[in-house]
Amino acid sequence: MKKKVTFVITKSNWGGAQRYVFDLATSLPKDQFEVSVAFGQDGLLAKKLQEKGIKTYSIKALARDVSLLHDIKSFFELWRLFRKEKPDVVHLNSSKAAGVGALAARLAGVKKIIFTAHGWPFLEQRNFIAQALIYLLSWVTALLSHTVIVVSNYDLQIAKKMPFVGHKSVRIYNGIRNDILESGDTIRRAFPTNAHITGTVGELTKNKNQASLVEQAKNDPTMYVAIVGEGEERSHLEALIQKYNLQDRVKLFGFMPASEVLRGFDTFTLPSLKEGLPYVLLEAKAAGLPIVANQVGGVGEILDAKDMSQFSLERMLEETKKLYLS
| CA–CA separation, 124 and 122 (whole Å) | 5
177 domain residue, yes or no: no
Instruction: Assess whether 155 and 240 both reside in one domain.
Output: no
Residue 94 shares a structural domain with residue 20: yes
Q: How far apart are CA 73 and CA 291, in angstroms?
A: 44
The string of pLDDT tens digits covering residues 109-168 is 999 999 999 999 999 888 999 999 999 999 999 999 999 999 999 999 999 999 999 999
Pairing outcome for strands 169-171 and 197-201: unpaired
Domain count, the chain: 2
On whether both 138 and 240 belong to a single domain, the answer is no
Taking the C-alpha atoms of residue 85 and residue 91, their distance in angstroms, rounded to an integer, is: 14
The rounded radius of gyration (Å) of the Cα atoms in the chain is 20
Residue 323 lies in a domain: no
C-alpha 136/C-alpha 147 separation (Å) is: 18
Tell me how far apart the alpha carbons of residues 291 and 223 are, in angstroms, rounded to a whole number. Answer: 15
Give a yes or no: residue 67 inside a domain. Answer: yes
| Rounded Cα gap, residues 221 and 227, in angstroms | 17
Please tell me the pTM assigned to this model: 0.93
Q: Are residues 31 and 108 in the same domain?
A: yes
d(CA 299, CA 281): 8
pLDDT tens, N- to C-terminus, the chain (326 residues): 899 999 999 989 898 999 999 999 999 999 999 999 999 878 999 999 999 999 999 998 887 566 778 889 999 999 999 999 999 999 999 888 899 999 999 999 999 999 999 999 999 888 999 999 999 999 999 999 999 999 999 999 999 999 999 999 999 999 999 888 999 999 999 999 999 999 999 999 999 999 999 999 999 999 999 999 999 999 999 999 999 999 999 999 999 999 999 999 999 999 999 999 999 999 999 999 999 999 999 999 999 998 899 999 999 999 999 999 99
Are residue 106 and residue 136 in the same domain, yes or no? yes
Residue 214 forms part of a structural domain: yes
Calculate the CA 325 to chain-centre distance.
Answer: 24
Domain that holds residue 125: 3-171
Beta bridge partners of 7: 37, 91
